[in-house]
Structure 1
Amino acid sequence: MAAITIRSMVVNAFLIYQLAVHFASASPLYAAKGGVHRRLFPAIETPSAVILTPIAGSPTLLPIPTQTPTSTPSETTSATPSATPSLAFQNFITRRGNKLYDGDQQFRFVSANTPGLLISEDTPGIRWVVPPPYEQDDLMRSVAGIGGLVARTYTLGVPYHIVGPGVYNETGFVGMDNAIAAAGRNGVRLIVPLINENLSAGEENTFLIGAYRDLAAFRGLEADVFYTNDTLRSDFKDTITYVLNRVNTVTGIRYGDDPTILAWQTGNELGSWEKPPAPADWLLDISTHIKSLSQSLVMDGTIGGSWRWQGIDVPTIDIYDSHLYGTNDTKSLREDAAFASLHGKVHVIGEYGLTDPVVYDTYMDENINNPNITGSLIWSLRGHANGGGLNVHSEGKNGTSNEYEIVSYHVPGLPPNIPDKIGPEETTVIADLRRHALAIQNLPSTTPYPAPIAPVLLTVTNGQLTWRGSAWAASYTVFRGNSTSFNGTETPLAMGVLDNVSIGDVVTRGYLWADASFVAGMEVHYAVQAVGVGGDLSPLSNVI
Structure 2
Amino acid sequence: MLGAAGIAQAATSCPCGCRTQNGTDWVYRDGADLKQNGQIFKWASVNVMDLGQLIDRPGYAQTTVTPYEAWDALKAVSVMGGRVARIYEFSIYNSVNPTGDISTFHWQGPGKYNEALFQSLDSTIATANFLKVKLIIGLIDWWWWRGGCADFVQSVWNTIPAKQGWTAKSMDFYTDADAIAEFKNFLKWIVNRKNTVSGLRYGDDPAILAWELGNEAAGWNQITPPAWTKGIARYIKTVAGDPNHLILDGTIGGEYGLQNTDGSWPNPSISKWQYMLQQGVLSDACVDIFNNHYYSSQGPTDYANRALRDVAIVRSAGKPFIVGEYGFADKQSYDNLNSAATNNGVTATMIWNMNFHSRDGGWYVHSEGNGYLSYHFPGFATSNSSPFDEIDVMSMLRNWSRWITGTSFQTLPVPDAPDLSITSSSPRNMKWRGSPGAQTYQLQRGLNASGPFTVVASGITDNVPSGSTIYNDYGATCGVTYYYRLQACSEGGCSIPSAIRGPIKC
The answer to whether TM tops 0.5 is yes
- Kept after mapping to 1: 8 A contact 2:46/2:86: yes
Aligned to 1:401: none
- Kept after mapping to 2: 8 A contact 1:456/1:542: no
Matches within 5 A, 1:155-166: 155-159=89-93, 160-166=105-111
- Kept after mapping to 2: 8 A contact 1:412/1:533: no
Q: Which of 413, 422, 432 pairs up with 1:450?
A: 413
Aligned to 1:298: 247
Q: Distance in 2 between matches of 1:322 and 1:424?
A: 22
Q: Secondary structure in 1 aligned to 2:203?
A: helix
Residue 98 (str. 1) matches residue 98 (str. 2)? no
Q: Which of 363, 382, 397 pairs up with 2:337?
A: 363
Aligned to 2:6: none
Matches within 5 A, 1:100-249: 100-159=34-93, 160-198=105-143, 205=144, 208-220=145-157, 221=166, 222-223=168-169, 224-249=171-196
Aligned to 1:44: none
Matches within 5 A, 1:52-71: none
Q: Distance in 1 between matches of 2:359 and 2:231?
A: 41
Q: Secondary structure in 2 aligned to 1:192?
A: strand
Residue 482 (str. 1) matches residue 450 (str. 2)? no
Tell me how many residue pairs correspond in the alignment: 431
Which string of whole-angstrom CA distances, capped at 9 and with x for unpartnered residues, describes residues 12-32 of structure 1? xxxxxxxxxxxxxxxxxxxxx
Which string of whole-angstrom CA distances, capped at 9 and with x for unpartnered residues, describes residues 334-378 of structure 1? 11111101100110000001122221111111111112x111101
Q: Secondary structure in 2 aligned to 1:381?
A: coil
Aligned to 1:277: 223
The alpha-carbon deviation at position 89 of structure 1 amounts to 7.1
Q: Secondary structure in 2 aligned to 1:384?
A: coil
Q: Distance in 2 between matches of 1:238 and 1:90?
A: 31
Q: Which of 507, 512, 527 pairs up with 2:470?
A: 512
Q: Secondary structure in 2 aligned to 1:322?
A: strand
The alpha-carbon deviation at position 423 of structure 1 amounts to 7.6
Q: Distance in 1 between matches of 2:106 and 2:322?
A: 27
- Kept after mapping to 2: 8 A contact 1:88/1:185: no
- Kept after mapping to 1: 8 A contact 2:156/2:182: no
- Kept after mapping to 1: 8 A contact 2:303/2:334: no
Residue 493 (str. 1) matches residue 472 (str. 2)? no
The alpha-carbon deviation at position 416 of structure 1 amounts to 3.0
Q: Which of 317, 326, 331 pairs up with 2:287?
A: 317
Aligned to 2:382: 416
Q: Distance in 2 between matches of 1:351 and 1:167?
A: 31
Q: Which of 356, 359, 379 pairs up with 1:383?
A: 356
Q: Distance in 1 between matches of 2:380 and 2:322?
A: 28
Q: Which runs of 5+ in 1 are unaligned?
A: 1-86, 199-204, 398-404
Residue 432 (str. 1) matches residue 401 (str. 2)? no
- Kept after mapping to 2: 8 A contact 1:482/1:524: yes
- Kept after mapping to 2: 8 A contact 1:407/1:423: no
Q: Secondary structure in 2 aligned to 1:440?
A: helix
Amino acid at match of 1:476: Y
Q: Distance in 1 between matches of 2:383 and 2:413?
A: 24
Q: Secondary structure in 2 aligned to 1:465?
A: coil
Q: Secondary structure in 2 aligned to 1:540?
A: coil
Q: Which runs of 5+ in 2 are unaligned?
A: 1-20, 94-104, 158-165, 257-270
- Of the structure 1 ranges 217-226 and 287-296, higher mean CA displacement relative to structure 2 is found in 217-226
Q: Identity, % of aligned pairs? A: 34
Change (3 A) 1:241 1:417: farther
Q: Distance in 2 between matches of 1:357 and 1:337?
A: 22
- Kept after mapping to 2: 8 A contact 1:451/1:538: no
Aligned to 1:393: 366
- Of the structure 1 ranges 406-415 and 428-437, higher mean CA displacement relative to structure 2 is found in 406-415
Which string of whole-angstrom CA distances, capped at 9 and with x for unpartnered residues, describes residues 270-290 of structure 1? 11113x321110011100011
Amino acid at match of 2:146: I
Which string of whole-angstrom CA distances, capped at 9 and with x for unpartnered residues, describes residues 174-198 of structure 1? 0110111121121110111100014
Amino acid at match of 2:392: T
Matches within 5 A, 1:326-341: 326=296, 327-341=301-315
Aligned to 2:14: none
Change (3 A) 1:543 1:142: same
- Kept after mapping to 2: 8 A contact 1:88/1:187: no
Aligned to 2:210: 263
- Kept after mapping to 1: 8 A contact 2:307/2:341: no
Aligned to 1:39: none
Q: Distance in 2 between matches of 1:469 and 1:396?
A: 26
- Kept after mapping to 1: 8 A contact 2:224/2:251: yes
- Kept after mapping to 2: 8 A contact 1:415/1:424: no
Q: Distance in 2 between matches of 1:538 and 1:270?
A: 47
Amino acid at match of 1:296: H
- Kept after mapping to 1: 8 A contact 2:330/2:387: no
Residue 354 (str. 1) matches residue 328 (str. 2)? yes
Amino acid at match of 2:307: L
TM-score after normalising by structure 1: 0.76
Q: Secondary structure in 2 aligned to 1:467?
A: coil
Change (3 A) 1:180 1:333: same
TM-score after normalising by structure 2: 0.82
Q: Secondary structure in 2 aligned to 1:217?
A: helix
- Kept after mapping to 2: 8 A contact 1:90/1:259: no
